């Protein structure tokens, strides 16, 4: 079946050249891409395979399964089929006439057992951590990538509008989640949100109504929600949605490999005054950070601004979580993974650069009462920032 989506050849070439520049700067002979998201990013296909990128010259894509689709999807010119991973060194030697003396791997995600296996395959190579090289290349999005993220943002906006028109009392949080996820799936949402941290699970149904929003839990996030059981103790749960309560809906979507991550506050009929004031406050913080965001500003400066703004509005105790359970970040990079570097976290000195994209998510937790939050995806431009998100930054009373 012909796929309607393909990463352009010039886009792949740009990415390969960028990582090769990094390899040369670090005096690394090559990198073997193993992780699936990185494979998609650098080759254009997520089929079962590996990508060897030398510091100079054309890359080599080695496919275990499925070769016809990999050939259709990838613009990499050197594509060969392998039956076993053990063939990789021999195929590299056949192609380039030599094996790398220093070989980079994705240490941040590669399991120890897999790394030890590859180290035995390349016994004479010095193995190096190439994770930071990959992160730096992926941090800066091209115009083509921004267009993909805008398409995902359009799907997210359609989904939020669908929720506005269909939310009603009596649904459980999980029922509402299933309704809007089915809506998005019919329109191309890929369901599996990709995250790099092996202990983090990406899922699209963060619906927290009333007291559920005030539940602290397992997530590295201000609020976790009830979840479905002790085995999945976060996100939407069995609580029924009611009129006149604060409802925080955090949606993650992925389209053609690119993610959106957005949060808006809802209420049916009316929102309690306390929750309304808090919801207005997080929007004010959100907008203040966007106004500050521009090239050269450090992520730590943005966090300090957000915390200072929350304090001035009277929400120091609730901002970023209740006392004892506060998180230290207000946002994160986003792209082919839901959470990417840089993280907008306290103490981090990363500075904003044109082409970076972030999900900005100032949130408050009133423990055992409700959560208030807003989240939007934005792009750093040459002179400031602009929203990629297309959902109105407002509170929805339905």
pTM over 0.75: yes
Any idea what DSSP says for residue 239? P
**Per-residue model confidence (pLDDT) at position 232:** 81
Please, what is the average pLDDT of the chain? 95
> Quick one: 369 and 313 in the same domain?
yes
In a domain, 354, yes or no: yes
**Helix H segments across the chain?**
9-25, 36-43, 67-73, 88-96, 112-121, 131-139, 143-166, 173-186, 273-292, 299-312
The dihedral region occupied by 163, where left means phi > 0, alpha psi between -120 and 50, and beta the remainder, is: alpha
**Per-residue model confidence (pLDDT) at position 294:** 98
CATH number of residue 265's parent domain: 3.90.230.10
> Quick one: 134 and 154 in the same domain?
no
Pairwise CA distance, residues 153 & 392, whole Å: 12
> Quick one: 184 and 306 in the same domain?
yes
CATH number of residue 92's parent domain: 3.40.350.10
Q: Structurally, how many domains does the chain consist of?
A: 2
Instruction: State how beta strands 102-105 and 126-129 pair.
Output: parallel
Which of the listed residues 138, 163, 178 is the one where a domain comes to its end? Answer: 138
**Per-residue model confidence (pLDDT) at position 2:** 47
Q: Is the pLDDT of residue 258 over 50?
A: yes
Residue 302 · residue 289 · CB < 8 Å: yes
> Quick one: 169 and 117 in the same domain?
no
Q: Is the pLDDT of residue 233 over 90?
A: no
> Quick one: 38 and 150 in the same domain?
no
In a domain, 2, yes or no: no
> Quick one: 133 and 259 in the same domain?
no
| pLDDT confidence band for 200 (50 / 70 / 90) | confident
Q: What is the pLDDT of residues 149-191, one digit of tens each?
A: 999 999 999 999 999 999 999 999 999 999 999 999 999 999 7
Residue bearing the bigger pLDDT, 232 or 387: 387
Q: What is the pLDDT of residues 100-150, one digit of tens each?
A: 999 999 999 999 999 999 999 999 899 999 999 999 999 999 999 999 999
Q: Is the pLDDT of residue 3 over 70?
A: no
**Per-residue model confidence (pLDDT) at position 367:** 93
Which of the listed residues 138, 168, 196 is the one where a domain comes to its end? Answer: 138
**Per-residue model confidence (pLDDT) at position 1:** 41
In a domain, 368, yes or no: yes
> Quick one: 186 and 37 in the same domain?
no
Find the domain containing 164 and state its range.
140-397
In a domain, 108, yes or no: yes
How far is the CA of 184 from the CAs of 5, 45, 163, 180, 181, in angstroms?
A: 18, 23, 11, 6, 5
Pairwise CA distance, residues 390 & 1, whole Å: 32
> Quick one: 146 and 97 in the same domain?
no
> Quick one: 171 and 102 in the same domain?
no
Q: Is the pLDDT of residue 56 over 80?
A: yes
Compute the average pLDDT of residues 13-20: 98
**Per-residue model confidence (pLDDT) at position 204:** 63
In a domain, 89, yes or no: yes
| pLDDT confidence band for 280 (50 / 70 / 90) | very high
In a domain, 4, yes or no: no
> Quick one: 211 and 276 in the same domain?
yes
Q: Is the pLDDT of residue 343 over 90?
A: yes
Which of the listed residues 138, 157, 188 is the one where a domain comes to its end? Answer: 138
């Amino acid at each position: 079946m012909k796929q309607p989506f393909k990463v352009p050849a010039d886009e792949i070439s740009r990415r390969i050249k960028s990582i090769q520049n990094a390899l040369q700067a670090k005096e690394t002979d090559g990198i073997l891409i193993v992780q699936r998201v990185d494979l998609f990013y650098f080759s254009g296909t997520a089929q079962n395979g590996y990508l060897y990128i030398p510091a100079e010259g054309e890359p080599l894509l080695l496919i275990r399964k499925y070769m016809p689709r990999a050939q259709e999807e990838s613009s990499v010119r050197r594509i060969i089929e392998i039956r076993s991973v053990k063939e990789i060194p021999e195929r590299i030697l056949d192609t380039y006439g030599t094996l790398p003396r220093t070989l980079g791997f994705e240490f941040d995600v590669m399991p120890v057992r897999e790394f030890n296996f590859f180290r035995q395959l390349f016994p004479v190579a010095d193995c190096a951590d190439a994770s930071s090289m990959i992160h730096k290349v992926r941090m800066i999005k091209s115009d083509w990538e921004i267009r993909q993220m805008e398409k995902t943002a359009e799907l997210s906006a359609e989904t939020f509008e669908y929720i506005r028109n269909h939310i009603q009392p009596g649904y459980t949080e999980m029922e509402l989640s299933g309704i809007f996820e089915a809506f998005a799936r019919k329109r191309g949402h890929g369901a599996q949100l990709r995250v790099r941290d092996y202990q983090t699970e990406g899922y699209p149904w963060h619906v927290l109504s009333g007291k559920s929003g005030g539940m602290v839990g397992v997530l590295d996030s201000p609020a976790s929600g009830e979840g479905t059981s002790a085995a999945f103790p976060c996100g939407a749960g069995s609580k029924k949605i009611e009129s006149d309560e604060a409802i925080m809906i955090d949606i993650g979507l992925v389209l053609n490999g690119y993610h959106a991550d957005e949060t808006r506050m809802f209420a049916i009929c009316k929102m309690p005054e306390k929750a309304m004031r808090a919801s207005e406050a997080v929007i004010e913080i959100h907008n203040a950070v966007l106004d500050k965001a521009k090239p050269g500003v450090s992520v730590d400066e943005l966090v300090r601004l957000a915390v200072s703004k929350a304090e001035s509005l009277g929400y120091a105790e609730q901002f970023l979580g209740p006392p004892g359970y506060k998180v230290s970040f207000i946002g994160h990079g986003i792209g082919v993974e839901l959470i990417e570097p840089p993280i907008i976290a306290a103490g981090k000195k990363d500075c904003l650069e044109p082409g970076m994209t972030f999900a900005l998510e100032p949130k408050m937790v009133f423990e055992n009462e409700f959560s208030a939050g807003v989240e939007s995806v934005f792009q750093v431009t040459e002179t400031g920032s602009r929203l990629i998100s297309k959902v109105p930054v407002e509170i929805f009373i339905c």
